[in-house]
Amino acid sequence: MKGGEIIPLEELNLPFLSEEHRLLRSAIREFAEKEIIPTALERDKNSDIQGTVKIFKKLAKLGYAGIRIPEEYGGQGMDMYSEIILMEELGYADPSVAVTMLIHTGAAAACIYQLAPEELKQRYLPTIAKGEKILAFAMTEDEIPGSWSSYMKTTAKLEGDKYILNGRKAFITNAGIADLFVVFARLDQEKPDHKGIGIFLVEKEFPGVSFESEEPALGIKAASWGTVSFNNCEVPKENLIMEPPKAFAAAMNLFNQERMENPSVCNGIATRALDESVGFLSQRKDPRSGKSFIEGYQSLQFKIAEMYALIRASRLGVWHAAYLLENGHPYVKEVSAAKFFANEAVRKVCSDAVQLHGGYGYSAALIVEKLLRDGMFGGIAGGTLEALKLRTIREILREKGISRK
């Protein structure tokens, strides 16, 4: 039940957004209304990953798969503001489509266009920008806590003109649909920490790559998420994106900027939950007075006002971090805080939306139940709530010159 937008995603009137950004938003919105929103519930119920891939390919035809890839490699060369617009709109329309695109356009692509040697960029980026090849980002392992990824067990050894990779990567978005994997593996066995890690670009067809299975999940069920293993996987020497000891630190640095996308998806989800709630409460009537719930019940009006305030603050937090990034200011503290704030906000807003819908909120017939499940992803993926709080406090203490020990 859609109630129209009570909080239009464009309403913030951010002074740094151009007419081009506004046109981009309406183009994505128009596409989403026709091609994504009508099938979102059904794809979720059927875990229809291939249905989501079809939508990804259509979005790619419109240029969105290469939104920030530089134009010289066939991308659109757009800025972080454009990426945020894409993520907010896709999050609003369907988080499964959003995360499929997020991994492709975000950290995985950035590792290639920002860290890889020129030859690798020229060879792979044009097909990635067109969405002909889908990307996955393979860092987390099931045996090592993701919060301690730098102690990963996956190894890479140079033998002749090939690297031989061995290991398993778990909880990987796009694992079952990816053509290319950006893989983190320990190349320098002498160094057990981040200084031993290299980054590789691995084609699905390389000998020794196998997708194990889709992981049954709480939400985002129409997106691929699972385990991929590398068993004596042969990777040509030229497919090294970056070598140790600098690779892991360089990637971590990059991920700070790529942290804008996940909370933007969450803000899109939360906005949808609010719109749905206003729509529902406008139609639900008190049989005595004939007034709608939203007209008649002040406690529900307060709830809507609180949801609105939370979403507004959350969106402004991400947009401010993006403004700092785009204008060359420090932004790590701000993006870390904006991410965990948005990750918690979406959980609160979606939980309230379910409550406001009563039995219809608990029922899988309407979208808010799915939004609550989908909205959980943000606080675990791309840096957990706890990791981002630690990062925020570390930056605050560093600025104040206070030691954490």
Q: Kindly list the residues in this chain that would bind ligand FAD in the complex (CB under 6 A).
A: 103, 137-140, 145-147, 171-173, 220, 225, 377, 380-381, 384, 386-387
Residue 172 tokens, joined: 């990987």
Query: Which CB, 24 or 90, lies closer to ligand FAD?
Result: 90
Tell me how far, at minimum, the Cβ of 184 lies from ligand FAD, in Å: 8
**Amino acid code (one letter) for 286:** D
Query: Which CB, 109 or 139, lies closer to ligand FAD?
Result: 139
Closest residue to bound ligand FAD by CB: 146
Tell me how far, at minimum, the Cβ of 262 lies from ligand FAD, in Å: 9
Distance CA 269, CA 371 (A): 6
Cα angle value 224/92/78 (rounded, 5°): 85
Tell me how far, at minimum, the Cβ of 73 lies from ligand FAD, in Å: 22
Distance CA 266, CA 325 (A): 20
Tell me how far, at minimum, the Cβ of 398 lies from ligand FAD, in Å: 17
Q: Going by DSSP bridges, is the β-strand pair 180-186/197-203 parallel, antiparallel, or unpaired? A: antiparallel
Distance CA 170, CA 79 (A): 31
Q: Return the closest-CA partner of residue 258 out of 194, 173, 186, 177.
A: 173
Tell me how far, at minimum, the Cβ of 70 lies from ligand FAD, in Å: 23
Distance CA 278, CA 294 (A): 7
Query: Which CB, 170 or 325, lies closer to ligand FAD?
Result: 170
Tell me how far, at minimum, the Cβ of 27 lies from ligand FAD, in Å: 27
Query: Which CB, 75 or 219, lies closer to ligand FAD?
Result: 219
Query: Which CB, 31 or 230, lies closer to ligand FAD?
Result: 230
What is the four-CA torsion angle of 212, 145, 384, 324, rounded to 10 degrees? -100
Query: Which CB, 24 or 251, lies closer to ligand FAD?
Result: 251
SS3 state of residue 374: helix
Query: Which CB, 102 or 367, lies closer to ligand FAD?
Result: 102
Which residues, including other chains, have CB under 8 Å from residue 176's CB and lie 6 or more apart? 49, 211, 214, 224, 226
Q: What share of the chain is helix, strand, coil (3-state, %, to 5)?
A: 55, 15, 30
Query: Which CB, 147 or 189, lies closer to ligand FAD?
Result: 147
Tell me how far, at minimum, the Cβ of 381 lies from ligand FAD, in Å: 4
Tell me how far, at minimum, the Cβ of 220 lies from ligand FAD, in Å: 6
Cα angle value 356/94/82 (rounded, 5°): 115
